[in-house]
Amino acid sequence: MHRFRRIAISLPVLAAVAAATALAQRADLPLTNWTVPAYHRTAGPSGGLSTMADVTPGVAFVGMVPCRVVDTRPSQGFGGAYGPPIMAANAIRTFDIDSGPCTGIPAGVDAYSLNFAVTETAGAPGDIRAFPTGSGVSVTSVLNWNFVGNGAIANAIIIPAGTNGAIDVQVAGFNTHLVIDINGYFTDTYNTGVPFLATGNTGGGMISGTNASNADGAAGVKGMQGSAVSGATSAGTAGVIGTSPFFNGVLGITQAGAGAAVRGVRLGVTPETSGELGAANLGGLFHNDVEIVDGDLRVTQLDLTSRGDIEADGNVTIAGNLQVGGGTKNFVEPHPTDPSKLVQYVSLEGPESGTYFRGRGRFQNGFATIRPPEDFRIVTDAEGLSVQITPIGEMATYAVVRIGIDEIVLKASRNVEFFYTVNGVRRAHKDFQPIADSNGFFVRRGERSRIPANFPDELRRRLIANGTYREDGTVNMDTARRLGWDRIWAEREREDTPSPVSVP
């Protein structure tokens, strides 16, 4: 049986003799619009009336210009499966609604809004029964008549689409001509070019999606723009676009324990900010505040596991620490002659947050003075300065007479030119300790963590040797419990669990 579990029907018995008599002189059956019925019944042979409040959620009505899809009268010019002959008593005919003379109905709709009419009946009383193709014969009528000859009577119903979008119709009693009109359909996959728009005033989401599946690719709300990424050139295209005059264009919150999904990411376009984020893989983001301003990516806090990559065409500003676990910090530039290659330089690393400046000078009368620039003096601690001197052109000995944050005085045996480099330590981080508590840094996904596949062999061996992981790459839970990592994971999940959102 088709998955749309309900059909709608007005009162099932229309046997008012006065109404039939009034229509008896109007057998022309004009094509006019009608109101979608306010009642429906189950799509099975047993029937059963209920209100529209029980309609299966997740589908919407798409209206269309009323169109005649079936007319069995020879004088009306309908052919094939949608025209003559007259409906024979007790016989069943199948009408493929979405492939009939009324165009614009997409394949795979859930149900149709139809208007049934009978005329030129061979006897009375009689009734029409309609049901989804493949669901079995229904014993509940959708239209009843009690007149003979060139009268007419009609009734509107909602009926689910059956196999291949078809419905079955059976006449009980006597032969009669049948006319079926359509003024819309119900679908959860909207017609091409017909947008779905929800507006209102609610404290919850105007459109809310809940998906109980934890399978790969499952999502509460999913948007895809186009059929492929390559070749897209139009500005502003996206699967999902969020705009807000206040704070978040799109606010993503993942429930605790829901894998390497995005938590607390704020991305969007607002009247104050605009920009772009190109993300190859946002998996593995935790505890993040992200803001896009004028093409730049600004991150208040970014803890990124090795499973996640972020690509941004603009600048990336991080108001906090950037830690790279198992990788390197490097920049790349294009090769000048070979497009298949690039040049990559890796950052110089050490056990301190170092600063430096360098330059070129000359000894005069055996002395030289180096005055650190203002920016160096602002960020560098006065203690821990060092100077390296390289004489140019001739051999010379030299000494550092005085070294300070404001002035460095040198003495040399010859008046020669020299290169110099002055090193220091950032004042705000002068107490930086290279060996610190890990707090489970390499198991950021908790018990679900695995040794990242892109870690070099040396790091993988070390993580196994120190008890962080087991030989099979899974977390060593004995270590996690002994060091309290399991408590850290539990606390993190409590912090990240979003408050319940009431959706009307």
Stretch 356-377: mean pLDDT, rounded? 96
Strand-strand pairing, 60-71 and 177-187:
antiparallel
Calculate Rg over the CA atoms of the chain: 38
CA 73 to CA 152: how far, in whole Å? Answer: 13
Report the Cα 138 to chain-centroid distance in Å: 41
Beta strands in 415-461 (DSSP E): 417-425
Strand-pair partners of 266: 251
Contact between 156 and 76 (Cβ < 8 Å) = no
| pLDDT tier for residue 440 given thresholds of 50, 70 and 90 | confident
Strand-pair partners of 129: 170
How far, in Å, are 386, 424, 427, 467 from residue 352 at the CA level?
Answer: 14, 9, 11, 27
Strand arrangement, sheet containing 408-412: 367-370, 408-412, 398-403
Query: Given this model, what pLDDT does residue 497 score?
Result: 56
Helix (H) / strand (E) containing 463:
helix 457-465
Q: Which residues contact 266 (CB under 8 A, 6 or more apart)?
A: 247, 248, 249, 250, 251, 289, 290, 291
Amino acid letter, residue 37:
P
Is 90 exceeded by the pLDDT of residue 406? yes
Query: Given this model, what pLDDT does residue 264 score?
Result: 38
Rounded to two decimals, the pTM is 0.47
| pLDDT tier for residue 138 given thresholds of 50, 70 and 90 | confident
Token representation of residue 392: 């140019």
Contact between 183 and 33 (Cβ < 8 Å) = yes
Beta strands in 147-190 (DSSP E): 149-160, 166-172, 177-187
Q: How many residues does the chain have?
A: 504
| pLDDT tier for residue 41 given thresholds of 50, 70 and 90 | very low
Please give the share of the chain, as a percent, with pLDDT higher than 90: 41
Q: Which residues contact 212 (CB under 8 A, 6 or more apart)?
A: none
Query: Given this model, what pLDDT does residue 34 score?
Result: 87
57 or 139: which carries more pLDDT confidence? 139
Token representation of residue 105: 């109905």
Contact between 351 and 431 (Cβ < 8 Å) = no
Query: Is 132 exposed, middle or buried, given 0-12, 13-18 or 19+ CB atoms closer than 10 A?
Result: buried
416 or 439: which carries more pLDDT confidence? 416
CA 487 to CA 471: how far, in whole Å? Answer: 24
Query: Given this model, what pLDDT does residue 313 score?
Result: 61
Strand-strand pairing, 296-304 and 309-311:
unpaired
Contact between 387 and 420 (Cβ < 8 Å) = yes
Token representation of residue 222: 């999913």
Q: Which residues contact 151 (CB under 8 A, 6 or more apart)?
A: 20, 21, 23, 24, 27, 119, 121, 145
Concatenating the DSSP letter of every residue in 297-348 gives EEEEEEEE-TT-EEE-SS-EEESS----SSS--EEEEE-SS-TT-EEEEEPP
| pLDDT tier for residue 328 given thresholds of 50, 70 and 90 | confident
Amino acid letter, residue 180:
I
Helix (H) / strand (E) containing 51:
strand 49-51
Determine if residue 34 is left, alpha or beta; phi over 0 gives left, psi from -120 to 50 gives alpha, anything else beta. Answer: beta
Query: Given this model, what pLDDT does residue 4 score?
Result: 43
Query: Given this model, what pLDDT does residue 174 score?
Result: 93
Count the alpha carbons within 13 Å of 353 in the hemisphere toward its beta carbon.
13
| pLDDT tier for residue 12 given thresholds of 50, 70 and 90 | very low
Give 178-221 pLDDT, tens digit per residue: 999 999 998 876 655 666 667 777 766 777 777 778 777 777 77
* Token pair 């140019």 in the structure block, residue: 392
Query: Given this model, what pLDDT does residue 249 score?
Result: 62
**Can the peptide bond before residue 125 be classed as cis, meaning omega within 30 degrees of 0?**
yes
Is 70 exceeded by the pLDDT of residue 383? yes
Is 60 exceeded by the pLDDT of residue 500? no
Token representation of residue 184: 């819309």
Query: Given this model, what pLDDT does residue 401 score?
Result: 96
3-state helix, strand, coil in the chain (%, to 5): 15, 35, 50
Residue 176 DSSP one-character state: B
Residue 446 DSSP one-character state: G
CA 71 to CA 93: how far, in whole Å? Answer: 13
Count CB atoms within 10 A of the CB of residue 226.
Answer: 12
Is 90 exceeded by the pLDDT of residue 25? no
Is 90 exceeded by the pLDDT of residue 415? yes
Is 80 exceeded by the pLDDT of residue 299? no
Query: Given this model, what pLDDT does residue 353 score?
Result: 92
Give 241-274 pLDDT, tens digit per residue: 776 665 556 665 544 433 333 333 444 333 433 3
Query: Given this model, what pLDDT does residue 13 score?
Result: 34
- The mean of the pLDDT values for the chain is 76
